[in-house]
Structure 1
Amino acid sequence: MTDLSVVEICAGAGGQSLGLHLAGFHHKLAVELDPTAAQTLSVNLQRLQPDDDVSEIVKVGDVADDDVWEPEKYAGKATLLAGGVPCPPFSVAGKQLGSADERDLFAWAVEAAGRMQPEAVLLENVRGLNDARFAGYRQAVVDRFAALGYTAFWELLEAKDFGVPQLRPRMILVALRPQYVEYFAWPEKSAVTRTVSEVLGNLMAANGWRDEYLAKWMTAADKIAPTIVGGSKKHGGADLGPTRAKRAWAELWTDGHGLADSAPGEDWQPENHPRGPKLTVEMVARIQGWLGEEYRWDFEGRKTSRYRQIGNAFPPPVARAVGESLAQALTRTQKSTAVPAPRRVHDEVYRLLRDRDEPLTAERIQQLLGSTMTIEKITQRIESLARDFTLEVQSRGGRRTYRLGEWKAFRGQDDHDRHLAFAEAKIRAKVS
């Protein structure tokens, strides 16, 4: 496999797009719901792929709408399906509704891979997806990929380990056709950890900020930043995150309550800005991994829109590192000495209920697993499963029995609640 090409879904403004481009991948398609982010993507892809008609590559709309694109039409045309599907269904900052959240597209992306049949799949999401709450969900993803002919691996990667000066832990899923597995390894961590003052010092000094204040800030900000967040259109303008994130920024003598239009100048006084200076959009982009000319990216839209595009992105250096690992596997240039360990079971209770047709009590589940898992723990697992899967619950001899039903997640079903939610959203948009 020498033609490294990609179809990217939920592409955002292009953090993953740039990383994959630098890893050697060529875009055949990029789908994004937000028009301004899609415009940012179009402008930059036109520069990176000047011989292509970008208007045919970047599509604006709901990625699950067959009128926008059909996965089957890209079968055999792209080696990789990639995407950063929406995070709110799994984020600890939200309600972690999982399958009950109409924005959940993870299961749909797995089915899209089945329709498109690429050689590999790369999906990125928030750390919350690694919580015990979603053990059954992760197991269902891995098992479905296995049924489609892929070996899937989960890994938690942090941006700070790849030259990006912020924490930003992310759950990464890679699924490969069997012939590529022995060539794959997760990317190695960088030997150098970069800090906020290291990457922003020249920008903070650009407008003649007084030396004593700059020196104080350089010392305080010689740390890794908390995770940059994109925020929500429902909650006003741009700032650097919830209360806990603002406290973390305060420790860097940086004001997380909004963004500045420019760096501090000679007339900047600490009594007027006790929280410290605010960051500009350009500074936030650097913290998100757009570092230097190699990672040049031009953002369209007004300040808040540009900030959200940046804050919601997959840091390009992390995407590049994972992309390079995938490129090595897909080209089969060298067998890996660090192939990920064989797939571990994420949720044995889910696997047991999935494979048994008869209803089971918690005590019977404990017996069949032959484990030391307590009845209380088994019951907790079942309660979590009930949020993402239909569960038939009955009473037998005074004890509850459980039988696993369908996955509630949206996978393209015509009768799914997601369709109604999107229709209502379109009506609200027209009214407003």
Structure 2
Amino acid sequence: MDPLRVVEICAGAGGQALGLERAGFDHALAVELDPTAAETLKLNRPEWEVRVGDVADPDVWDPAKFVGVDLLAGGVPCPPFSIAGKQLGANDERDLFAWAVELCGVMRPRALLLENVRGLSAPRFSAYRQHVLDRLDELGYVADWRLLQASDFGVPQLRPRFVLVALSKDDAPYFSWPEAKPVGKTVGEELADLMASGGWRHASHWVTRANGIGPTLVGGSKKHGGADLGPTRAKRAWAELGVDAMGVADAPPPRMAPKNFNPKLTIEMVARLQGWHESSWTFAGRKTSKYRQIGNAFPPPVAEAVGRQIAGALRHHGEPRVLDDAVVHDPVYRLLRRSDDALTAAEIFSRIGGELTLDEIQLRIKHLTRDFDMYPESTDGENAFKLGNFRAFVGQDDHVRHEYLAQMRSKVS
């Protein structure tokens, strides 16, 4: 079979790229903002075309040159949706999710794959998700979201990722989400050989202590901190597995390290826990940069599992299925988007047939005001609402994102 071609944006150090490669995709292009992560891609796949810079900068690459590519994929920035941040969504200058969706109108890929943090699946972003689904439908795609756990795909880590897959209407009937195959190894079992590689006499004892799945590895950003394994709760969870999460080690424990000593993980160990089983994969940069590249990646086994399902759909493997009706993520958004009139919360409640309580509707309206222009009116003393434009960056020349990036370039990752 001829290989399928993928353009990957926000490619990072290659976690998603490696998984898609295993699934049968050839990279027509990879685009990455961080020069060190881009250098990692070039070191490991010198045959790929890698562009370095802001993915939305037309001087970096021209999407129109890749019209009809099989797959457009990316792990766009997560801070706009992270529960560890302010969840600014469309008002976050780093948000590229909506822009990536708009690329489908330019490039007309047969499929789209975007992954992000679990926060995007929260009720706070129900209207944002609904906008994405409706926009993709307008562009001729059938789209669906799914929360995938890395531990279901051979990664000994609690790492939920919220994944969007969209396919052309001809290909979509052949797509199904990958089946979960829960990991069989604990952190200790996964790292046993690496932890013993320095001769530590008690490595086998440590393996019995590290008898569970690790919490999510947090790569962090250039703005915050160095190489440690996550916030306070995560550090406590690592400690219960016999791991010192306060930093990353330069080498495995030496032969004479104490029996109940909690070792730090090395870069190679962190990569293994993220699903990088290729010891030949070289990470560019210094230790903190390497850790950040690994910790922010989409685990290769998860990317591979989703990629294989997309590849099968593009090749029309199996029997086509009858597509289910699309899940409505936000009936309030949908109603306001289609209404020519401003509506009160009570009118919305009566029109959506009791799907949500009045309090839930008022909360949805509050969320809408954060991502969309809203035009409040007064109707018989009650506030009524009319939905305006989506505030997210979708390529506007005058968007505040351009000024932010120009001023904060060294801190954006």
TM-score (norm 2): 0.96
Question: Does residue 104 in structure 1 map to residue 104 in structure 2?
Answer: no
Equivalence for 2:14: 14
Q: Give per-residue Cα distances to partners, 1:88-142, cap 9 Å, x unaligned.
A: 1000111111011111000000011111101000000000000000000000000
Question: Does residue 333 in structure 1 map to residue 314 in structure 2?
Answer: no
Any conservation in 2 of the 1:2–1:331 contact (CA below 8 Å)?
A: no
Q: Secondary structure at the match of 2:220?
A: coil
Equivalence for 2:400: 417
Single out whichever of 188-197 and 257-266 deviates more from structure 2: 188-197
Relative distance call for 1:176 and 1:6 in structure 2 (3 A) is same
Question: Does residue 280 in structure 1 map to residue 266 in structure 2?
Answer: yes
> Would you identify which runs of 4 or more consecutive aligned residues in structure 1 move more than 4 Å?
none
Q: Secondary structure at the match of 2:265?
A: coil
Question: Does residue 352 in structure 1 map to residue 335 in structure 2?
Answer: yes
Equivalence for 1:406: 389
How far is the alpha carbon of 1:371 from its aligned partner? 1.2
For 1:163, the aligned partner's letter is G
Equivalence for 2:60: 68
Q: Give per-residue Cα distances to partners, 1:143-184, cap 9 Å, x unaligned.
A: 000000000010010100000110110011000001111211
Any conservation in 1 of the 2:174–2:313 contact (CA below 8 Å)?
A: yes
Question: Does residue 267 in structure 1 map to residue 256 in structure 2?
Answer: yes
Any conservation in 2 of the 1:9–1:82 contact (CA below 8 Å)?
A: yes
Q: Which ranges of structure 2 fall in alignment gaps of 5 or more residues?
A: none
Q: Secondary structure at the match of 1:231?
A: coil
Equivalence for 2:213: 224
For 1:74, the aligned partner's letter is F
Relative distance call for 1:372 and 1:107 in structure 2 (3 A) is closer
Equivalence for 2:275: 289
339, 350, 356: which one aligns with 1:373: 356
Any conservation in 2 of the 1:184–1:335 contact (CA below 8 Å)?
A: no
Identity %: 59
Rounded Cα–Cα distance in structure 2 between residues aligned with 1:11 and 1:268 = 39
Equivalence for 2:295: 311
Equivalence for 1:49: none
Q: How does 1:11-410 map to 2 (within 5 A)?
A: 11-46=11-46, 52=47, 54=48, 57-76=49-68, 78-190=69-181, 192-211=183-202, 214-269=203-258, 273=261, 276-292=262-278, 296-335=280-319, 341-410=324-393
Q: Secondary structure at the match of 2:143?
A: strand
Equivalent residue pairs, number = 411
Rounded Cα–Cα distance in structure 2 between residues aligned with 1:256 and 1:310 = 15
Relative distance call for 1:11 and 1:372 in structure 2 (3 A) is closer
For 2:317, the aligned partner's letter is T
Rounded Cα–Cα distance in structure 1 between residues aligned with 2:11 and 2:285 = 17
Any conservation in 2 of the 1:149–1:177 contact (CA below 8 Å)?
A: yes
Rounded Cα–Cα distance in structure 1 between residues aligned with 2:185 and 2:138 = 41
Q: Secondary structure at the match of 2:115?
A: strand
Any conservation in 2 of the 1:71–1:113 contact (CA below 8 Å)?
A: no
Give the aligned CA root-mean-square deviation in angstroms: 1.6
Rounded Cα–Cα distance in structure 2 between residues aligned with 1:300 and 1:336 = 43
Single out whichever of 417-426 and 1-10 deviates more from structure 2: 1-10
Relative distance call for 1:287 and 1:121 in structure 2 (3 A) is same
Rounded Cα–Cα distance in structure 2 between residues aligned with 1:417 and 1:270 = 55
Rounded Cα–Cα distance in structure 2 between residues aligned with 1:193 and 1:139 = 36
Q: Give per-residue Cα distances to partners, 1:184-220, cap 9 Å, x unaligned.
A: 1111122543211111011111111123xx2432122
Q: Give per-residue Cα distances to partners, 1:53-94, cap 9 Å, x unaligned.
A: x3xx10000001111112111103x21000000001000111
Any conservation in 1 of the 2:3–2:24 contact (CA below 8 Å)?
A: no
How far is the alpha carbon of 1:270 from its aligned partner? 6.2
Q: Secondary structure at the match of 1:319?
A: helix
Rounded Cα–Cα distance in structure 2 between residues aligned with 1:372 and 1:62 = 41
Rounded Cα–Cα distance in structure 1 between residues aligned with 2:80 and 2:378 = 32
Q: Secondary structure at the match of 1:257?
A: coil
For 2:24, the aligned partner's letter is G
Q: Secondary structure at the match of 2:29?
A: strand
Any conservation in 2 of the 1:4–1:24 contact (CA below 8 Å)?
A: yes
Rounded Cα–Cα distance in structure 1 between residues aligned with 2:267 and 2:325 = 42
Any conservation in 2 of the 1:110–1:141 contact (CA below 8 Å)?
A: yes
Rounded Cα–Cα distance in structure 2 between residues aligned with 1:300 and 1:309 = 9
Rounded Cα–Cα distance in structure 1 between residues aligned with 2:13 and 2:235 = 25
Relative distance call for 1:105 and 1:342 in structure 2 (3 A) is same
TM-score (norm 1): 0.92
Rounded Cα–Cα distance in structure 2 between residues aligned with 1:183 and 1:171 = 21
Rounded Cα–Cα distance in structure 2 between residues aligned with 1:372 and 1:315 = 36
Any conservation in 2 of the 1:10–1:31 contact (CA below 8 Å)?
A: yes
Rounded Cα–Cα distance in structure 2 between residues aligned with 1:400 and 1:172 = 36
Any conservation in 1 of the 2:192–2:204 contact (CA below 8 Å)?
A: no
Relative distance call for 1:169 and 1:411 in structure 2 (3 A) is same
For 1:75, the aligned partner's letter is V
Rounded Cα–Cα distance in structure 2 between residues aligned with 1:363 and 1:199 = 55
How far is the alpha carbon of 1:269 from its aligned partner? 3.0
Rounded Cα–Cα distance in structure 2 between residues aligned with 1:70 and 1:391 = 34
For 1:285, the aligned partner's letter is A
Relative distance call for 1:324 and 1:186 in structure 2 (3 A) is same
